[in-house]
Structure formats: structure tokens, C-alpha cells
Structure 1
């Protein structure tokens, strides 16, 4: 595999991770939850959990 492919892969990974972490943090969870996207099956389950769980950020008194 040429170095161009690796560079493209890294760019795509960063392009996916940055918004993923921002969304999780904005929801009020730790940004470290992004690690679940690398675990098969767990990533799908956590997507549904985040979609339907009560977000801590919505319960803050400053909102």
C-alpha cells in the first residue's frame, strides 16, 4: 500500500473522529466514549443508547 493510501486513511479517520467527539461532548458525556466506535457490535449498541438516553447536557441548570 502506498503512503498516499495511509495518508488518506488518516485524514478520513480524523474527519470522522473530530465531529464524533464534539457531538458526544456536547451531549454531556466524556469524549472518551468515541472509543466505542472501534468495537464491532458495541458501536451500534452505543449509537442507539446515545440516541435514546437522556443527555446530561440537557439537564444542566444553565440551559
Structure 2
């Protein structure tokens, strides 16, 4: 038999495969991140919302006059 139990055809175990897979978005936003990264993400999202709000208001203001 080639490979041990729990290994794929390349000889890697399932835990090794999971260690090298990219993180899902939910894991990135809710994982064990340092506090400054969490604050940075939240501030960036707030900034994007503010820019969308201002741009949309400017667009509708110009079109109504």
C-alpha cells in the first residue's frame, strides 16, 4: 500500500492540506487577527461607505438642479 492512512496520493495528510489553503473571507474578517488589523478593516469599510454616500448625494444633487 502506498501512503499511510489519512494521506492522499501525494503523501500529504489532510491537516497539511488545510494548513496551506487560503483563508475564506469570513475567516479573514472574524479570525484571530491583531486588533489593529480589525480596526483597519472596519475603518476602511466605513470610508468606502462614506465615499459612496457622498458620491451618490453629489450625483443626485447635480441631476436635480
TM-score class, shorter = 0.3 to 0.5
Bigger RCO of structures 1 and 2 (CA < 8 A, at least 6 apart): 1
Q: Which has the larger radius of gyration?
A: 2
Using the size of structure 1 for normalisation, the TM-score is: 0.42
